Structure 1
Amino acid sequence: MATIEFWGGVGVIGGSKILVQQDGYRVLLDIGIDIPSGGDLFRLPVRPRPGRELADRLRLGAAPALPGLFAPEALEPGSPLAEQAGETAVFVSHPHIDHVGLAGFVRPEVAVHAHTEAVDVLTALAATGQGLTHGEPDWRRLTDHQRVVVGPLEVECVPVDHDVPGASGYLVHTPDGTLAFTGDYRFHGHHPQRSWDFVDRAAGSAVLVTEGTTLGWENPSGRRRDESDVARDFARALEETPGLLLLSLYPRDVDRVRAFLEIAGAAGRRIVWTEQVAAFLRLVGVEQALSAAELPAAELRAEPDRYVVMPDPDDLPSLLDLPVGDGYPGATLVHANGEPLGPFEPRWAPFTDWLAALGIPLRQIGCSGHASQDDLHHMLERLRPATVFPIHTTSPTRLHPPQGMRRVLAAYGARYTFGGDAI
């Protein structure tokens, strides 16, 4: 009998880890860092202890206590979790820390898979000093619709639309039916058809495990913003900013990076990235990425209206080196889902305090990387699984399945049948 366990993403946004087992064979879907709703004990200014990153997380229940998954040297000496278990394979949906952050601790004999475009992003991050804790696994690259056999389980990689290259959902085909796992996805990005194609390919699955991030969000306007809104608002900000435009954008959103480069170029401006970000972008194919080290400070100060600069959110005093504040009126910072990500981040308050001290208005223009509440419900109508588990959300009860469909609210570490019954 095939079973399902949830070792993350339960009642919180992020941290997805879904274990599917049959006859001693195991498939783990995602292996992310847990982001507890009550507050991450390892958030800044806390620094994880070198060499004890995983062991300390396991001690606090902030990593999955699964035997045979992690390398013994990353565990407490003598830990029972070091004992080998049945054949195991890990499948990562996309390169965001809450879905891949623990992959560096996986024992070498456990295969770790991801879409080839996601692996490109992860290897570029590692090459520029932004890699995973404890190193990189031996990535197994997957292509669209490629299948991997793990004993009686067969796992199919299906692309979806998200705000990072290589985002994929997975279909786990078992003798008890198919489990469809969405990963993180949306229907309003640069490639919405990918997500609808996933829905159609997963139609009629026995089980759907879906992220439901936006179920916990309020949207008073009732209107869903999309990438066309973001592009329009960036173009408008360029037009309305007489001085230097500062930009906070998530570099892993390579589609948006390329769109912004084109929009800025049409407005007669060049985007200037931090050295680390520029190096990363070049490795993922954005060859025209201009590093701050390549632009003389005198040139930037002489003509700030010709540039868009991405500041380093971890080096806020470096804002003083830019043509902003006294003597340089008209600067604005456009926040397009970059870092710091928002008020829930410890870095947000000092970030906005520095902007206020320098008289730099903050203009937020982003859109979500996650499916809207309406799209989630349209997806359910179209996919029609027998059972749905909403995870990766603070409000799973807001997902209302059509009549005849069973919704199950997963408990952490509990085991379920494909019919949704707890064992």
Structure 2
Amino acid sequence: MVSIEFWGGVGVIGSSKILISDQGHRVLLDIGLDIPGGKDLFRPPVRIRPDRELADRLRMGAAPRLPGLFDPAALADGDPLGEAVGPTAVFVSHPHIDHVGLAGFVRPDIAVHAHTDTVDVLRALSSTGAGVSGGDPDWQRLMDGQKTTVGPMQVECVTVDHDVPGASGYLVHTSDGVLAFTGDIRFHGRNPERAWDFVRRAGDCAVLVTEGTTLGWEQRDNRVRDEDDVERDFAALLESTPGLVLLSMYPRDVERVRAFLEIAAAAGRTVLWPAPIAAFLRLMGVEEALDTDAVGLPEVHAAPASYVLVPDPADLPSLLDLPVGPDSVFVHANGEPLGPFEPRWEPFTDWLAALKVPLRQIGCSGHASQGDLHAMVERMRPGTVFPIHTTSPTRLHPPLGIARVIAEYGSTYDFAGGVLEKP
């Protein structure tokens, strides 16, 4: 019998980890940082101990106690988790920290797979000092449609649409049927055909494990903002702002970066990035990415209307060195700090208010809307669906005949959704 265990993403957004076992072989889908009880014990101002991060997380229940997964060198002395167990392989859906953050601690004899574009992002981040903790594993590159054999299982990589290069779902072909895992997915992005192709290829699967981020959000209307909305709003703010424009966005969303650079150039403005981010973008092929130091703050003061500047979100006092005030604007396009749920958000908005800099939020979600999630399940028609990566899994309502199971952390299930074992 094939079993499924959930070691993250249960009742929280992020920290996905799904373990599938078949005849002594194991496949782990995603290996994100865990957020126990909805509150990250290691959030700022807590400082990570570099040589003790995994051991500390395990002790505090902020990482999964999975035997034979982690490198013994990263564990506390004598921790039995370091003992090898059955053959295991890890598959990462995309390069966001809540899906890949623990990959650097995996045993060196366990293969860690990801789409080749995801590997490029993670290697570029490592080169600029922003890689995963513990260092890069020996990444095994995948292409769309490529299948990897793990004992009796075959794991198929399927690209989807998300707000980062290389985002993929997986189809795990097991002895009891196919388990489909969406990773993070959306249907309103630049490449919706990828998401719908995943739905087609996963049709009639035995099990669907889906992210459900937006199930926990209150939707004010049925319209979903898309990238056209974001680009239109950015262009309008550039036109209407007489002074310096400040910007926060995901550097890993390379497609949006390229679009914003074009919009800024058309408006006669140059985008300036912190040096590490500019270096990352150049490694990702965005050769025109300039860092602030290369231009210099005197130039920005001399002609603030000629620039869009991306501040370091960890250095709010650096805003004092900029020509900002009521004729400026801070454009928040899904960057850091991520939102009001994050501890850094209140100090960030307090600083803007004190400097009298207006804040405009223009982003769009990287996650499927509630309507698209329900349409996906209806088209796919799995036997059993597990909604994870959400604070409100009970808001997913599958059609009659499809079993919805609300997973519990560390519990073991069969493909019909039955509980085999509780922790």
The reply to whether TM is greater than 0.5 is yes
Query: Which deviates more, 1-10 or 220-229?
Result: 220-229
Q: Superposed, which structure 2 residues align to 1:65-80 within 5 Å?
A: 65-80=65-80
Classify the secondary structure of the residue corresponding to 1:278.
Answer: helix
Distance in 1 (CA, whole Å) between partners of 2:273 and 2:60 is 38
1:356 Cα deviation (Å)? Answer: 1.1
Aligned to 1:398: 395
Distance in 2 (CA, whole Å) between partners of 1:291 and 1:235 is 21
Distance in 2 (CA, whole Å) between partners of 1:14 and 1:59 is 20
Aligned to 1:247: 247
Deviations 1:9-63 (A, max 9, x none): 0111100000000111000000000124542111100112232111111112211
Distance in 1 (CA, whole Å) between partners of 2:10 and 2:139 is 27
Aligned to 2:412: 415
Aligned to 1:301: 301
Aligned to 1:113: 113
Aligned to 2:156: 156
Classify the secondary structure of the residue corresponding to 1:198.
Answer: helix
1:298 Cα deviation (Å)? Answer: 2.3
Distance in 1 (CA, whole Å) between partners of 2:315 and 2:294 is 19
1:296 Cα deviation (Å)? Answer: 2.8
Classify the secondary structure of the residue corresponding to 1:232.
Answer: helix
Aligned to 1:147: 147
**Maintained 8 Å contact 2:36/2:61:** no
**Percentage identity across aligned positions?**
71
Deviations 1:224-278 (A, max 9, x none): 1111111111011111101111100110111110111111111111111110110
**Maintained 8 Å contact 1:244/1:304:** yes
Aligned to 1:173: 173
Asked if 1:339 is matched to 2:331, the reply is no
Distance in 1 (CA, whole Å) between partners of 2:158 and 2:221 is 33
**Maintained 8 Å contact 2:41/2:62:** no
1:221 Cα deviation (Å)? Answer: 2.8
Deviations 1:72-130 (A, max 9, x none): 01111111111111100000000011000000000100000000000000000000010
Distance in 1 (CA, whole Å) between partners of 2:68 and 2:37 is 28
Deviations 1:196-231 (A, max 9, x none): 110101001000000000000001233211111111
Change beyond 3 A, Cα 1:37–1:365 = farther
Q: 2:360 aligns with which of 357, 360, 363?
A: 363
Classify the secondary structure of the residue corresponding to 1:247.
Answer: strand
Q: Superposed, which structure 2 residues align to 1:206-355 within 5 Å?
A: 206-325=206-325, 329-355=326-352
1:304 Cα deviation (Å)? Answer: 0.9
Distance in 2 (CA, whole Å) between partners of 1:34 and 1:388 is 22
Query: Which deviates more, 349-358 or 35-44?
Result: 35-44
Q: Calculate the TM-score normalised by the size of structure 1.
A: 0.98
Distance in 2 (CA, whole Å) between partners of 1:27 and 1:420 is 18
The unaligned stretches of length 5 or more in structure 2 are none
Distance in 1 (CA, whole Å) between partners of 2:77 and 2:297 is 52
**Maintained 8 Å contact 1:170/1:182:** yes
**Maintained 8 Å contact 1:343/1:349:** yes
The unaligned stretches of length 5 or more in structure 1 are none
Aligned to 2:47: 47
Paired amino acid for 1:195: A
**Maintained 8 Å contact 1:271/1:290:** yes
**Maintained 8 Å contact 1:72/1:82:** yes
Classify the secondary structure of the residue corresponding to 1:234.
Answer: helix
1:318 Cα deviation (Å)? Answer: 1.1
Aligned to 2:373: 376
Classify the secondary structure of the residue corresponding to 2:81.
Answer: helix
Classify the secondary structure of the residue corresponding to 2:419.
Answer: coil
**Maintained 8 Å contact 2:35/2:41:** no
Asked if 1:2 is matched to 2:2, the reply is yes
Distance in 2 (CA, whole Å) between partners of 1:296 and 1:412 is 50
Paired amino acid for 2:123: T
Task: State the aligned residue count.
Answer: 420
Distance in 1 (CA, whole Å) between partners of 2:356 and 2:409 is 46
Distance in 2 (CA, whole Å) between partners of 1:53 and 1:125 is 19
Deviations 1:277-318 (A, max 9, x none): 100000011111011111132221121111100011111111
Q: Calculate the TM-score normalised by the size of structure 2.
A: 0.98
Distance in 1 (CA, whole Å) between partners of 2:49 and 2:320 is 33
Distance in 2 (CA, whole Å) between partners of 1:37 and 1:118 is 29
1:381 Cα deviation (Å)? Answer: 1.1
Consecutive aligned runs of 4 or more in structure 1 exceeding 6 Å deviation:
none
Q: Superposed, which structure 2 residues align to 1:120-135 within 5 Å?
A: 120-135=120-135
Classify the secondary structure of the residue corresponding to 2:239.
Answer: helix
Deviations 1:167-188 (A, max 9, x none): 0000000121000000001001
Asked if 1:63 is matched to 2:63, the reply is yes
Distance in 2 (CA, whole Å) between partners of 1:55 and 1:334 is 39
Distance in 2 (CA, whole Å) between partners of 1:99 and 1:157 is 15
Paired amino acid for 1:371: A
Paired amino acid for 2:196: W
**Maintained 8 Å contact 1:13/1:37:** no
Aligned to 1:200: 200
Classify the secondary structure of the residue corresponding to 1:125.
Answer: helix
Paired amino acid for 2:295: L
Query: Which deviates more, 37-46 or 182-191?
Result: 37-46
Classify the secondary structure of the residue corresponding to 1:258.
Answer: helix
Distance in 2 (CA, whole Å) between partners of 1:397 and 1:165 is 30
